[in-house]
Amino acid sequence: MKNRKQIIILSDETEKVVLSSKLADKEIIVLAGETPTVVGYEKYAKDEYKDEPDENGIYQPDDEKIQNKLDVIAQEEAKKTKAKELSELVIDINTVLYDAHQEAIGNMAAVVAIATATFQRAISVGVVKAGETVPTIMTPAEAYKYVYKDQTVTWKGADNKPHTVQVESLVEASEKAMTAKAVILFKY
């Protein structure tokens, strides 16, 4: 097993063997006896030993408990790695790099939701275009062009610079971001 350390007691009484382990923060110090003796595997936390002693009255390490603890450690490391990958996710759309972490996806979703409402209004009751006073009801194709292609927003890219982008680019970025996010989520 990976984290087990073997302690050998040496014949010199002043000699000490000090071990440390990932699973337990305490040090074990063994003073030497008269003859070299192999003590066996040591350095486990209390909860890593079997509940009952063996026939010699010695509590032995419990491989299942140790493996469970190692599994928990591995899961915690995977969570940290996943969170790091998600927070550093970047998507490239039309040479603009977009952050694709959760907050950025939420911001994109807000812009897309406003655009969708504007599109619905344009095809149902109409929108007042710049320089006009009367709402214009549009066909779906006209409304799409007006809302998603003609309308732009200033977006702070992953390079921390402002970019003027079409709403359509934000839709593409959010789609790609969600796909990339799903890949990371299912990897762990």
**β-pairing, 162-166 with 152-156?**
antiparallel
Prediction pTM value: 0.63
Residues of the chain with pLDDT under 50: 1-41
Amino acid 127: pLDDT: 92
pLDDT at 130: 85
Q: pLDDT (tens digit, 9 = 90+) per residue, 43-68?
A: 677 778 888 888 888 878 888 888 88
Q: What pLDDT score does 43 carry?
A: 67
Angle 108-79-86 from CA coordinates, rounded to 5°:
25
Name the residue among 109, 107, 133, 137 with its Cα closest to residue 121.
Answer: 137
Determine the pLDDT at residue 53. Answer: 81
Q: Would you state the pLDDT for residue 38?
A: 38
